[in-house]
Amino acid sequence: MASERHYSRADRLLLQADAALRTLLPFSGQPYRPSPAITQPDVDLDSDDARHVAGLMRINHTGEVCAQALYQGQALTAKLPDVRAAMEQAADEEVDHLAWCEQRIRELGSHPSVLNPLFYGLSFGLGAVAGLISDRVSLGFVAATEDQVCKHLDAHLQQLPAEDGKSRAILEQMRSDEQQHADSALEAGGLRFPLPVKFGMSLLSKVMTKSTYRI
């Protein structure tokens, strides 16, 4: 059996830089699974609905940019190899969501948020700090973040036009995946964050959603 390859800190920094470029450059991330939208019929939305749905999908796309950065930052500083591997695996799974959202945004005639590099940097820093504190805090941060994402997805699903089956299929699959990530993080020993911390995270997420809906 081949031994596991060990990366130096410099190697990991280069891998993080590569991950950042693949996250932020248009159409750089290749999904592992086909988009759930391909099974849904094409429907012409009126201009107001298309603009609104594009704004919702832009929020979700930026959320996936943040998730990528969070996991990459945590993987860089995680202390236990199995936790680091779990973070890297979760980041791979989030690539699907990133690509699906970007494709749908383009189909709606819009573009991802220009603020994505800013939010990537902030999220990477938060993930790295959480990993430095402890793996238990790092896993707890994943669970709390995914909980916020699920709430956003639930709200967005309620706002979608009934005829927009493509966006709905994407968000429903994302909702299922994100809940699994949250549950897995807690099962792995993640800390359950107290309500005041979750409230603070909720305020930060509102800043992201308000700013990326249009830009």
Give the Cβ contact number of residue 42 at 10 Å.
Answer: 8
Rg for the chain, CA atoms, rounded? 17
187 annotated to a ligand binding site: no
For residue 106, give the nearest of 65, 166, 151 by alpha carbon. 166
Mean pLDDT of 158-174: 97
Instruction: With cut-offs at 50, 70 and 90, classify the pLDDT of residue 4.
Output: very low
Mean pLDDT of 164-176: 96
The pTM is what? 0.86
94 annotated to a ligand binding site: yes
Instruction: With cut-offs at 50, 70 and 90, classify the pLDDT of residue 196.
Output: confident
CA atoms within 13 A on the CB side of 140: 17
Question: At residue 160, does pLDDT exceed 70?
Answer: yes
- Superfamily of domain 44-212 in CATH is Ferritin, core subunit, four-helix bundle (1.20.1260.10)
Question: At residue 175, does pLDDT exceed 50?
Answer: yes
Instruction: With cut-offs at 50, 70 and 90, classify the pLDDT of residue 116.
Output: very high
Instruction: With cut-offs at 50, 70 and 90, classify the pLDDT of residue 195.
Output: confident
Please tell me which of 5-9, 110-114, 195-199 the model is most confident about, judged by mean pLDDT. Answer: 110-114
Residue 10: its pLDDT value, please?
A: 67
Distance CA 26, CA 181 (A): 25
Task: Confirm if 139 and 84 have CB atoms less than 8 A apart.
Answer: no
178 annotated to a ligand binding site: yes
Helix axes 81-107, 9-24, angle to 10 degrees: 20
97 annotated to a ligand binding site: yes
93 annotated to a ligand binding site: no
Residue 27: its pLDDT value, please?
A: 67
Residue 112: its pLDDT value, please?
A: 94
Domain ranges, ordered by start, for the chain? 44-212
Could you read off the pLDDT of 34-92 as tens digits, one per residue? 999 999 999 999 999 999 999 999 999 999 898 888 888 887 787 777 776 776 677 77
Residue 138: its pLDDT value, please?
A: 84
